[in-house]
């Protein structure tokens, strides 16, 4: 990690729900909470708790020097709404194949 940059991942027990356009896209009681210096807490959800049937893989990728290369998925009316790290760097291996959304409800 860069000087002063930290990432911590912990198993959460919050009830997290993602609703888009009135439809529940994901709901989980076992999110991984990823805390990264300078960024809001992100909830990474196991794929079993996400409506994968609603998502379409997008051609978008981004690179994070700390987490690796992210892949993105879209809903019909929301491009690149979801991302994940199919092959994350070893320091964040726990998030492999988990999915993250820009906005979640913690209920």
Note the pTM of the prediction, 2 decimals. 0.93
Taken in order of first residue, the domains within the chain and their CATH numbers are 7-106 (2.170.150.40)
Q: Which helix (H) or strand (E) holds 24?
A: strand 23-28
pLDDT band (50, 70, 90) for residue 63: very high
pLDDT of 32-42, one tens digit each?
999 999 999 99
pLDDT of 12-34, one tens digit each?
999 999 999 999 999 999 999 99
In whole angstroms, give the CA distance from residue 80 to residue 101.
9
């Amino acid at each position: 990690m860069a000087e002063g940059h930290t990432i911590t991942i912990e198993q959460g027990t919050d009830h997290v729900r993602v609703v888009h356009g009135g439809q529940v896209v994901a709901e989980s009681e076992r999110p991984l909470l990823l805390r990264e210096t300078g960024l809001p807490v992100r909830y990474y959800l196991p794929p079993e708790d996400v409506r994968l049937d609603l998502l379409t893989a997008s051609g978008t990728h981004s690179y994070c020097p700390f987490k690796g290369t992210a892949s993105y998925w879209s809903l019909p009316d929301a491009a690149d709404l979801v991302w994940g790290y199919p092959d994350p760097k070893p320091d964040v291996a726990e998030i492999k194949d988990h999915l993250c959304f820009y906005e979640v409800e913690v209920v």
